[in-house]
Amino acid sequence: MSPLVIPVFLPAAGCSQQCLFCNQQATKERILSPSAVQAFVQASLRVLPFNKKNSEKQIAFYGGSFTAMRREDQVSYLKAIQPFIVSGSIHSIRVSTRPDALDEESLLLLKKQGVKTVEIGAQSMIDSVLVLAHRGHRAEETRSSVSGLRDRGFQVGLQLMIGLPGDTFEFFLQTLDEVIHLQCDFVRIHPTLVLRGAPLESLWRAGEYSPLPLNEAIRWLKKGLLKLERSGVRVARVGLQPTEDLERDLLAGPYHPALHQMIDSEIVLDMAGHLLQLYRKEPQACFLCHPKEVSNLRGQKNENISKLKEQFGIEELLVRGREDVPRGSIILQTQRGDFSIRRSDVQYEN
């Protein structure tokens, strides 16, 4: 069960260089002090929802490379959270960092101060892609850091990107194979965006870099998500969180505020098409799904309905929600009987 996360952003903190895709140096002056973090957490605890479904509350330090900061700064931020840990109002801490900034001393400090989860900005497991992205580390350092964290009982997540310079769909699948082999607990996947102020902007303006089109990013991601799901690796998020800064700085790239839903809707469209191709004989069709997945089956602005009707010559297509239909499954009702397909049944060719 996922915890209720209170995010604390430390933009570019601990970053000694600027990655090709990153523009966080422009917001570096906004970093909160440890005392300001305490005040922020207190305020957040008063207004954030809390129920039994998210019984664990966690502080997450995002935006920089936490363990690459000066050691005394790490200690100050972690100690600022300790009163909440002691009182039980906060249960654990999460930090985000680089794979080459997790030495033995860092791991001991994190463990001592109540850090439960470490997210590593791996971005890719292909060295040639990492070099072009100016990451300053190799895939081997990600492998080593994940292993060290797991040996010490941390929950480990990896942050990945698709569509970086030099990246390919085959490289993305290779990266996912490595992630699965490393037995990470979860991943976040973000398509590469061209942001104002990032070094990538210059390449884009010079015509030396083209971001993935949105439909191509969805093609990569729907196959990638199913691959991860089958392996048991949880996908915590797809796409960047919509913010005012992102809307202001976005220049190009496959951005959509509901990207994950778009991918899920595309997968369900493929599931419905498969059933119709095999079993439909009547001019009408009726699908059943869980009530919470009706919107995915219908598609944004009923696009899936329109596509299916056009592709299969259907006069009337109904979608009905029913509580007894398992999540991740859809049922096609026909005069010959009901036919179902599960999300896990979907197979894509590479």
* Predicted local distance difference test score (pLDDT) of residue 305: 96
Residue with tokens 């292993």: 147
pLDDT single digits (tens) 98-113: 999 999 999 999 999 9
Query: Could you give the domains of the chain?
Result: 4-257 (3.20.20.70), 262-345 (3.30.2320)
173 to 25, 226, 260: CA distances (angstroms): 31, 11, 18
One-letter amino acid at 41 equals V
Tokens of 150: 């797991």
How far does the chain reach from its first CA to its final CA, in angstroms? 32
Q: Which residues pair with 319 in a beta bridge?
A: 287
pLDDT single digits (tens) 90-99: 999 999 999 9
138 to 116, 143, 169, 182: CA distances (angstroms): 25, 9, 19, 15
pLDDT (average), residues 44-64: 79
Most confident of 32-36, 64-68, 316-320, 346-350: 316-320
Percent of the chain with pLDDT over 90: 79
pLDDT (average), residues 28-52: 80
Give me the chain's average pLDDT, please.
92
* Predicted local distance difference test score (pLDDT) of residue 50: 62
* Predicted local distance difference test score (pLDDT) of residue 95: 96
pLDDT single digits (tens) 205-253: 999 999 999 999 999 999 999 999 999 999 999 998 888 888 889 999 9
C-alpha 313/C-alpha 304 separation (Å) is: 14
pLDDT (average), residues 320-334: 96
pLDDT (average), residues 112-141: 95
Whether pLDDT at 350 is above 70: no
Whether pLDDT at 64 is above 90: no
* Predicted local distance difference test score (pLDDT) of residue 307: 96
pLDDT single digits (tens) 163-178: 999 999 999 999 999 9
Question: Residue 196, Cα to own-chain centre: how many angstroms?
Answer: 22
Fill in the DSSP letter of residue 91. Answer: -
User: What values do phi and psi take at 173, rounded to 5?
Assistant: -65, -35
Whether pLDDT at 55 is above 80: no
Tokens of 230: 């089958």
C-alpha 54/C-alpha 74 separation (Å) is: 27
DSSP 227-270: HHHHHT-EEEEESPPP-HHHHHHEEESS--TTHHHHHHHHHHHH
**SS3 at position 287:** strand
Whether pLDDT at 328 is above 90: yes
